[in-house]
Chains A and B, each alone.
Chain A
Amino acid sequence: MRDKTNGRYMKYGLFLIVMFMLFVFPVLKPPLFFLSLLFTAYMYVALAESWNLMGGYTGYISLGHIAFFSTGAYTTAVFMNRFGVSPFATALLGGFFAAVLAALVGYPVLRLKGAYFTISSLLLAVVMQLIFMNWDFVGSSVGLWYKLLPVSIEINRMIFYEVMLFLATAITLIVRWVEKSKFGAGLIAIREDEDVAKTMGINSPWLKMKAFILGAFFAGVIGGVYGYYIAYVHPEVTFNINTSLLILLMSFFGGCRTWVGPLFGAIVLSLVNQLIVTFIGAEISRILYGMLLVVVIIFMPDGVIHYIRGLFVHRKIRHGDSIL
């Protein structure tokens, strides 16, 4: 008993130390490259965690997450470019718009199951991309440019670093809390067997809707900050299908049954991805993560953490089993 509480304090202590170190990291004046590297890693942590609410817990695999992300980015862009409004509050507004979009789309789309849901979510992203490509108000295929924060690039990167660190931490903690709550138990019951869950009195349409909207809200906020960070939006940048897939891969790679999986997957893969993109080439990186996706689905459908643990415990994990 005592050991257990001690262990818990150890964990909390460790968590606080790590967070503190990450928090003060920019003060050491590292090269900007590292800041943007970590910024992107945090962003993917936040995205993967928010995606995992639906994709991991309920097993409703969405490829439309970038639609919500882009909604956030475009909200910032439009407010900056058209109205000259530039507080971070637009990020929250982006989250709000994304949530509204999710509510509108979710009502019909969440009735679909399996592949049909996935395809519809992908279509949502594609249709939005096509519309944004041709909608002059949001810059159509030229995109929208706007000013960076009126401070030096170092300070600029530092601010965004801290904001994204905060977002990633907050979202991960919220998702972790959801996982352990009754809400999360309901979502997991839906993944196991939606019909059985319904007979157990779980209001599955409502739970799915909540998870979908919450995930979309997070993605919108993240997009809002991101839009501010890059100071330029373009449909082909924000609505990139590869981003959706990368998020999915990160969750699956880490293991999408728990909040730890996306966290681990997003950190490892986003760092590896960025390093390969920077030093070798984007195509090679995509080739590698495409292969990784296949390998993960075939050999470690529960994620690499589970897989490695399985190797040590000598418990036999059956290939191709589990949530898929």
Chain B
Amino acid sequence: MTLSYIIESIISGILLGGIYAILSVGFGLTWGTMKVLNISHSVFAVLGAFVSYWLFVKLKVDPILSLPLIVIILFSSGAIIYKLVIRPVQRAKDVIMASMVATFGVAIVVENVMSYFWRPDPRILKPAYASSSIFLGEISISQGPLIGFIMAICAISLLYWFLNHTYIGKGVQATWQNPIGAALVGINQERVSLITFGLSIASAGAAGVAMALIYAFYPSVQSIWTLFVFLVTIVGGVGSVIGTGLAGLLIGSIIGICAAFLPFVWVNVLLFALLLVILLFKPEGLFGN
């Protein structure tokens, strides 16, 4: 075990962490702002991966080029789910619990529709550049994760910019901080919610493409991705974009370091046990306020 091997592991862990961050950021956003705990979040990441995969395999469209299209498709799916499921559920007494159970249903439906039409076999998104590596001295960095990471950073920055520098984004925050105040300055809460939810799903779609550049994906992988989303979101503090970003990087590094010494399955056991511990002792997250 050489030093460069450890450094490589850490770097690939960080790259992975960035992707986990974008996978989680939308989930934390809807939970924090709309009080909607969307279990179906990562199933839409898988859907994004599938759409990108088919565009690549059938039409030879590069995943990077098809990304805007995927964002649009998933935003629309999010808007539909919002109208059909989330909006009615928001009338419940305990929105978090009701949305959690209802979106569990959505996750099952979407997962099994995918599995029905596209078979449950694992697939991987492999454009030519994804399998080559960049060398920095002795250290090699594979391009797949690197491109995924760059996509993730761009998406997070865009989301951050949207939330803090546009009127609608600020409206989202205002609604979160004070719903009555927001209604009284003329913010249309239904519209703001729809946009928030749509963006959240769109970000999941983009994350799915990034994930697919690294890992094999199949419909039922969504439940594992969901657990990672929970992990990152809880560690980062629900609803904080920056916190989620940091948490993603932190967890990625942990994965990177552990993976250098442990078999991969035990890394997962370790991480989920860690999540349990955090839930028990610091449910507001490590970077939350």
Contacts and interface: CB of A to CB of B under 8 A. Distances in A.
Q: Do chains A and B touch in the complex (CB under 8 A)?
A: yes
A59 to B, nearest CB: 8
B275 A123 contact: yes
Contacts of A294: 84-85, 102, 105-106, 109
A192 B289 CA distance: 30
| Interface size class of chain B, counting residues whose CB lies under 8 Å from the partner chain | 35 or more
A322 interface: yes
Given A248-B101, A298-B88, A319-B91, A124 B276 contact: yes
B93 A242 contact: no
Contacts of B100: 115, 118
A32 to B, nearest CB: 28
B269 interface: yes
| Interface size class of chain A, counting residues whose CB lies under 8 Å from the partner chain | 35 or more
B261 to A, nearest CB: 16
A287 B108 contact: yes
A319 B98 contact: no
B265 A298 contact: no
| Residue of B88, B96, B105, B272 with most partner-chain A CB within 10 A | B105
B227 A297 contact: no
B116 A284 contact: yes
A116 interface: yes
A109 B279 CA distance: 9
A287 B116 contact: yes
A292 interface: yes
A109 B88 contact: no
Contacts of B115: 283
B107 interface: yes
B215 interface: no
Contacts of A289: 105, 108
A301 B98 contact: yes
A108 B98 contact: no
A127 B269 contact: yes
B262 to A, nearest CB: 11
B101 A252 contact: yes
A269 to B, nearest CB: 13
B180 interface: no
A124 B273 CA distance: 8
Given A127-B273, A287-B108, A294-B102, A114 B227 contact: no
A133 to B, nearest CB: 7
A323 B108 CA distance: 23
A298 B102 contact: yes
B74 interface: no
Interface string B148-172: 0000000000000000000000000
A241 B227 CA distance: 12
B97 to A, nearest CB: 5
B280 interface: yes
Contacts of B108: 242, 245, 286-287, 289-290, 293
Contacts of A274: none
Nearest to B268: A130
Interface string A272-289: 000000000101101101
A319 B263 CA distance: 49
Nearest to A292: B105
B14 interface: no
A262 to B, nearest CB: 15
Contacts of B104: 245, 290, 293
A142 to B, nearest CB: 15
A4 interface: no
Given A114-B97, A290-B108, A320 B276 contact: no
A119 B230 contact: yes
B280 A109 contact: yes
A321 B92 contact: yes
A112 B37 CA distance: 16
A324 B272 contact: no
A297 B279 contact: no
A241 B223 contact: yes
27 contacts: A59-B97, A61-B101, A112-B280, A115-B100, A119-B230, A119-B279, A127-B272, A130-B269, A130-B272, A283-B113, A284-B112, A287-B109, A290-B108, A291-B105, A293-B101, A293-B108, A294-B102, A294-B105, A297-B102, A297-B105, A298-B102, A301-B92, A318-B91, A320-B88, A320-B93, A321-B91, A324-B93
Given A286-B111, A290-B108, A318-B91, 5 more contacts: A134-B269, A286-B112, A294-B85, A297-B92, A321-B92
A-B CB proximity, top 5 nearest: A293-B105, A290-B108, A290-B109, A324-B98, A320-B92
Interface of B: 37, 84-85, 88-94, 96-98, 100-102, 104-109, 111-113, 115-116, 223, 227, 230, 263, 265-266, 268-269, 272-273, 275-276, 279-280, 283
Interface of A: 59, 61, 108-109, 111-112, 114-116, 118-120, 122-124, 126-127, 130-131, 133-134, 241-242, 245, 248-249, 252, 281, 283-284, 286-287, 289-294, 297-298, 301, 318-324
